[in-house]
Structure 1
Amino acid sequence: MSLQWTDSLDIALALQEAHPDVNPTQVNFVDLRNWIMALPDFEDDPARCGERILEAVQLAWMEEYDG
């Protein structure tokens, strides 16, 4: 399954798995964007990413975070 910028919940779950000890509220958008693009299943155009997308991913990750 390939991940796109609009797959915020799936991206959040993948980030939670890749970075289990990270509190998503402490991640800045530059790191978040880089981590998303480094996910093995991520296959979208980096130019399509914006602040709204990163906010949606961060919010979804916060909902999944159990720290």
Structure 2
Amino acid sequence: MGLKWVDSLNIAIELDETYPDVDPRTLNFVDLRDWVIKLDEFDDDPHHSGEKILEAIQAAWIEERE
């Protein structure tokens, strides 16, 4: 079973492992969306993301780093 947009914590963990040198606080939502879609485990409609979903993923990623 792949990652869905609602799996913000698991997506954040995958992003942290895939992009360890990136500061998630400086990432824009366009790049964040593209990076999520490129994750091997991602299995959802790319068009179903929105600002709230991306904010949740970014916040989870920042929390994962701390």
- Report TM bin, short chain: over 0.9
**How far is the alpha carbon of 1:65 from its aligned partner?**
1.2
Task: Give the RMSD, CA atoms, in angstroms.
Answer: 0.8
Structure 2 portions without partners, runs of 5+: none
Supply the distance in 1 between the matched residues of 2:43 and 2:3 (Cα, whole angstroms).
6
State how 1:46-57 maps to structure 2 within 5 Å. Answer: 46-57=46-57
Query: Where does structure 1 differ by over 6 angstroms across 4 or more consecutive aligned residues?
Result: none
Structure 1 portions without partners, runs of 5+: none
State the match for 1:26 in structure 2: 26
Q: How many residues align?
A: 66
Per the normalisation by structure 2, the TM-score is 0.96
**How far is the alpha carbon of 1:47 from its aligned partner?**
1.4
State the match for 2:16 in structure 1: 16
Supply the distance in 1 between the matched residues of 2:63 and 2:14 (Cα, whole angstroms).
13
Per the normalisation by structure 1, the TM-score is 0.95
State the match for 2:38 in structure 1: 38
